[in-house]
Amino acid sequence: MTRTEWKQIGKGLAFCSPWLIGFMVFTLIPVVLSLYYSVCDYSLLQPPAYIGGANYHELLDDPIFRKSLTNTLLYAIIALPAGLMVSLGLALLLNVKVAGQTFYRTVIFLPSLVPTVASAMLWMWLFNAKLGLINTVLDWLPFRLLIAGINAILGLVHLPQIETPIGWLTNPAWALPALAFMSFWGVGHTVVIYLAGLQDVPSELLESAEIDGAGMTRRLWHVTLPMLSPVIFFNLIMAIIGTLQVFAIPYIMTGGGPARATYFFTMYLYDNAFRYLKMGYASAMAWIQLLIILALTAIAFWSSRKWVYYQGK
Amino acid sequence: MHYIRTTILTLLGLTALAVMAFGGRSVESHKGQVVVTYWEKWTGKEAEQMQQIVNDFNQSVGQQKGIYVQYLSMSSVDQKTLVATAAGVPPDIAGLWNSQVAQFATINAVEPLDDLAAAHGITASYYKPVYWEGCRFNGHLWALISTPATIALHYNKRLMLERADSLRKAGLDPNRPPRTLDELDRYAQALDMVEKTPNGQKRIKSAGYLPMEPSWMLTYIPYWFGNKLFDEKTQKLTLTDPDIVRAFEWVKSYSVRLGKDSMTEFTNGFGQFASPQNPFLVGNVVMTLQGPWTANYVEDLKPSMNRWKFPKEKEKGMSVEERRKNYEWGAAPFPSAVPGLTDVSYASFDTLMIPRGAKHKQEAFEFIAYVNRQDVMEKLNSLHCKNSPLSQVSEQFIRNHPNPYISVFEELARSKNARGVPPMPIWPEVADELGVVAQRVYLLQAEPKEALQDAQNRLQEKYETFLERQRLRAKS
């Protein structure tokens, strides 16, 4: 390498250095240290004492760890696909050229701008079993009839009936689905990304399909969705990461209750780290969480070869 | 391009100048004074009241001794203190909770205060025993108290009189609170207002008493059944002792009697404690287990309950007994399940601790000692509407206290049956688990014995692992 090239590298690194230093100090070093702490007994104020794989071994035997992991996966199973479908559906509707399109787009995006704590407080009132708007609406005659119908079907197959008014956040059976339902409140960001993706769907392909006699559904299925698949893939990856790290909303709204029905992985991690002062144990949990997210992301990447289409290829 | 670069550079320069001019300062300038940093948990009114005490100190003792206390109120003060201590820049004083005394002492997060306290004449006899013991762990003193409390049964006198007929029908006196646990259950049942819906469901309109309201007290219910939750000698939790099983059976009995679904539906509409929808304030429950601060919350959220018979101004100069008549509510010791076991209470407190590595320990303790002066302690706890942790209490404190029932809480604090948190470093984890046990029990998800056995097995194992690791640390 010539002297000029070295100089240029030096300059480049100098310009990058604020980020590089920030990344090293605030991300890389803590990540590496957390791996070390995960094999230590560490309480922040006592020096870390090496204990090998004891934290990981203890975690495998910990019923609360299993409960929090199960809750998180259940939440992801409900919130992730439903969230992707709801946001995609909204984006498709908002892409239709109608009067007031910008207004509708703004309305859908608006909830994403509400701070987390404010949203949580608002939804706590909406979910209030006695005074909440949701149960008030469900008490209207058509919904009462609908619930009676569902109960009749449930009764036929000997399944538990829906008790009204529903204790959205106080009934262990409803609390987790309620939080998953609430997650749709923040789909605005995903909708915007889908909308941007929809503008990139080649109009000539849609026109060709239309000339060939394809209806709206076939155009959606055979042209729009394949062309949108890289965006869906991106949103899927972000949703996997987001849903498996769910923390703030349940922490504020339910505190993990009732009876740990909404006690998620990250909440148990937080409690171990900052309330029980078991940093080593919490670090081991963080690494397990990372591995789970990594594995699910890897599966998504592997599967993407079969369903994600890039225009350039 | 040139203009863009100049603009960006100018903006960056201005930002840097602004940061230098208005940015953070390490400490305010107090020439010749030692600045003691004090981090505290309180916000709002309680923070302002502590600020008054800090100002008093700065203008009196602080000025004489060259100390200035810089008070900072913040959320999650425990976590921030811990992180700052680990980083070597702790505050000089941290206002933490009683459950953290053993936890913080074990991990060496705070300084022992034995010598400093003794030098200021603060010894065991200066405090009520339950509070002094709560500040000690492993033979050392780690904290002193800012505001303490005990908890007692609060009852709504007006609602009891309104429902006097059903109380009398059950052979109960509507003019006094229950004195035994059995009596409490009978009062509760007689005071319940339940109606049948058109589809035959039970709907609770108002409950006499609910053990799960407020839920944060459920952890300590076993105290009223004669159990301490933890045996210090054997270092074993006692969660499966028959007394504790009986305590949780009692919690369950309310769900069974009222019906789990009806009760859940009823409690679903309850507002938060510090809100005008507080179930005791709106009459959803007639009796509740609460602390002396209730008087302050009533004053803020439903002042009419503190002015039942006459305007507040008329209270001036009245005896405590006369003042009590003006309050729609009353307070009495929560009845115990064990005959002869009287004046049982959970004694909680807010602490003042000196984090390890604090730069001004002596000066910090000057402030802690100031707060622990009888006159200052009484002023602070009158403002916060709590009892005093000190063995000596002035007549004035009782007479002028915003809570006319403060003597009830004082007596409970002096009782040999008042108990603090069990002295174990993993207590926060145990308390959380007991809270979940209580939830599982009152939601009828598990039998008390089964839920307690699960908790006992898991927590005892955790505690033994913790002790073993501490022993290994000590050896190395």
User: Given this model, what pLDDT does residue B58 score?
Assistant: 96
Cβ contact, residue pair A49, B267, below 8 Å = no
Phi, psi at B207, each rounded to 5° = -110, 145
| Per-residue tokens: A21 | 């230093």
DSSP A111-146: HHHS-HHHHHHHHHHHT-TTT-HHHHHHTSHHHHHH
User: Given this model, what pLDDT does residue A261 score?
Assistant: 95
In chain B, how many domains are there?
2
Chain B residues in contact with A274 by the CB 8 A cut-off are: 76, 79, 82
Q: Clarify whether residues B266 and B146 are in a common domain.
A: no
Note whether B447 contacts A: Cβ–Cβ < 8 A. no
Question: How far is A172 from B443, CA to CA, in rounded Å?
Answer: 9
- The three-state DSSP-derived secondary structure of A17-46 is HHHHHHHHHHHHHHHHHHHHHCCEECCCCC
Distance spanning both ends of chain B, measured CA to CA: 64
Mean pLDDT of chain B: 93
**Which of B85, B265, B476 is nearest residue A129 as measured by Cβ atoms?**
B265
Note whether B434 contacts A: Cβ–Cβ < 8 A. no
| Per-residue tokens: B405 | 């029932």
Residue B463 banded pLDDT, cuts 50, 70, 90? very high
User: Given this model, what pLDDT does residue A303 score?
Assistant: 94
User: Given this model, what pLDDT does residue B303 score?
Assistant: 95
Q: Cβ distance A297 to A238 under 8 Å?
A: no
Q: Clarify whether residues B340 and B404 are in a common domain.
A: no
C-alpha separations of B379 from A130, B53, B109 in Å: 42, 8, 30
Tell me the pLDDT tens digit for each residue of B326-349: 999 999 999 999 999 999 999 999
How many helices (H) and strands (E) chain B has is answered by 20, 15
User: Given this model, what pLDDT does residue A161 score?
Assistant: 82
- Chain B from 351 to 410: CB within 8 A of any A CB: 356
Chain B residue with CA closest to A51: the answer is B469
Cβ contact, residue pair A41, B109, below 8 Å = no
- Measured CB to CB, residues of chain A less than 8 Å from chain B are 41, 43-46, 49, 51, 58, 62-64, 128-131, 163, 165, 167, 170-172, 257-260, 271, 274-277
Q: Cβ distance B155 to B254 under 8 Å?
A: no
pLDDT at B459 over 60: yes
Note whether B419 contacts A: Cβ–Cβ < 8 A. no
Q: Clarify whether residues B131 and B262 are in a common domain.
A: no
Chain B residues in contact with A144 by the CB 8 A cut-off are: none
Chain B residue with CA closest to A127: the answer is B268
pLDDT at B146 over 90: yes
Burial of B59 (0-12, 13-18, 19+ CB in 10 A): exposed
B205 falls within a domain: yes
Q: Measured between CA atoms, how close is A7 to chain B, in angstroms?
A: 22
Beta bridge mates, B68: B35
Q: Cβ distance B453 to B240 under 8 Å?
A: yes
Q: What is the CATH number of the domain that holds B289?
A: 3.40.190.10
Residue-range definition of the domain harbouring residue B311: 152-345
Q: Clarify whether residues B354 and B337 are in a common domain.
A: no
Cβ contact, residue pair A130, B458, below 8 Å = no
B134 falls within a domain: yes
B474 falls within a domain: no
Residue B17 banded pLDDT, cuts 50, 70, 90? confident
Last residue of a domain, one of B322, B345, B368: B345
Cβ contact, residue pair A44, B261, below 8 Å = no
Cβ contact, residue pair B268, A167, below 8 Å = yes
Last residue of a domain, one of B384, B419, B454: B419
User: Given this model, what pLDDT does residue B12 score?
Assistant: 81
Taking one residue from A and the other from B, the number of pairs with CB-CB distance under 8 angstroms is: 74
Q: Clarify whether residues B354 and B279 are in a common domain.
A: no
Note whether B465 contacts A: Cβ–Cβ < 8 A. yes
Residue B354 banded pLDDT, cuts 50, 70, 90? very high
The 3-state DSSP class for residue B111 equals coil
| Cis bond before residue B335 (omega within 30° of 0) | no
Phi, psi at B196, each rounded to 5° = -100, 135
Beta bridge mates, B231: B236
Q: Clarify whether residues B90 and B140 are in a common domain.
A: yes
Q: Clarify whether residues B260 and B337 are in a common domain.
A: yes
Tell me the pLDDT tens digit for each residue of B271-306: 888 888 899 999 999 999 999 999 999 999 999 999
Chain A residue with CA closest to B266: the answer is A130
| Per-residue tokens: B336 | 């115990």
B8-12's contacts with Cβ under 8 Å and 24+ in sequence apart are none
Rounded to 5°, angle at Cα B210 from B412 and B197: 160
Q: Measured between CA atoms, how close is A268 to chain B, in angstroms?
A: 11
Residue B350 banded pLDDT, cuts 50, 70, 90? very high
Note whether B282 contacts A: Cβ–Cβ < 8 A. no
Chain B residues in contact with A41 by the CB 8 A cut-off are: 469, 473
Name the DSSP class of B30: -
User: Given this model, what pLDDT does residue B1 score?
Assistant: 59
CATH T-level fold of A62-127+167-307: MetI-like fold (1.10.3720)
Cβ contact, residue pair A259, B443, below 8 Å = yes
Q: How many CB atoms lie within 10 A of CB A272?
A: 25
Q: Clarify whether residues B72 and B202 are in a common domain.
A: no
**Which of A49, A257, A259 is nearest residue B473 as measured by Cβ atoms?**
A49
**Which of B264, B439, B473 is nearest residue A46 as measured by Cβ atoms?**
B473
Tell me the pLDDT tens digit for each residue of B364-418: 999 999 999 999 999 999 999 999 999 999 999 999 999 999 999 999 999 999 9
**Which of B265, B432, B445 is nearest residue A165 as measured by Cβ atoms?**
B265
Q: Within chain A, which residues score under 50 in pLDDT?
A: none
Q: Which residue has the tokens 């009287």?
A: B342
Last residue of a domain, one of B378, B400, B419: B419
> Span B199-222, mean pLDDT?
90
**What is the ipTM, given to two decimal places?**
0.88
Closest CA to A72 of A308, A279, A285, A214: A285
User: Given this model, what pLDDT does residue A128 score?
Assistant: 87
Using CA atoms of B426, B429, B434, B440 in order, give the dihedral in degrees to the nearest 10.
Answer: -150
The percent of residues in chain B predicted with pLDDT above 90, rounded, is: 83
pLDDT at B28 over 60: no
Question: How far is B60 from B379, CA to CA, in rounded Å?
Answer: 15
User: Given this model, what pLDDT does residue B215 score?
Assistant: 85
Closest CA to B150 of B123, B175, B129, B180: B129
Name the DSSP class of B390: B
**Which of B86, B265, B469 is nearest residue A49 as measured by Cβ atoms?**
B469
Question: How far is B382 from B368, CA to CA, in rounded Å?
Answer: 18
Q: Clarify whether residues B182 and B104 are in a common domain.
A: no
Chain B residue with CA closest to A63: the answer is B458
CA A273 to chain centre: 22
Q: Clarify whether residues B50 and B173 are in a common domain.
A: no
DSSP chain A: --HHHHHHHHHHHHHHHHHHHHHIIIIIHHHHHHHHHTTEE--SSSPPEE-TTHHHHHHHT-HHHHHHHHHHHHHHHHHHHHHHHHHHHHHHHHTS--TTHHHHHHHHHHHHHS-HHHHHHHHHHHT-TTT-HHHHHHTSHHHHHHHHHHHHHHHHTT-PPPPSS--TTTSHHHHHHHHHHHGGGGTHHHHHHHHHHHHTS-HHHHHHHHHTT--HHHHIIIIIHHHHHHHHHHHHHHHHHHHHT--HHHHHHTTT-STTTT--HHHHHHIIIIIS--HHHHHHHHHHHHHHHHHHHHHHHHHHHHH---TT-
User: Given this model, what pLDDT does residue A200 score?
Assistant: 87
Q: Cβ distance A283 to A262 under 8 Å?
A: no
- Who contacts A122 (Cβ-Cβ below 8 Å, separation ≥6)? A114
**Which of A45, A129, A259 is nearest residue B109 as measured by Cβ atoms?**
A45
Chain B residues in contact with A55 by the CB 8 A cut-off are: none
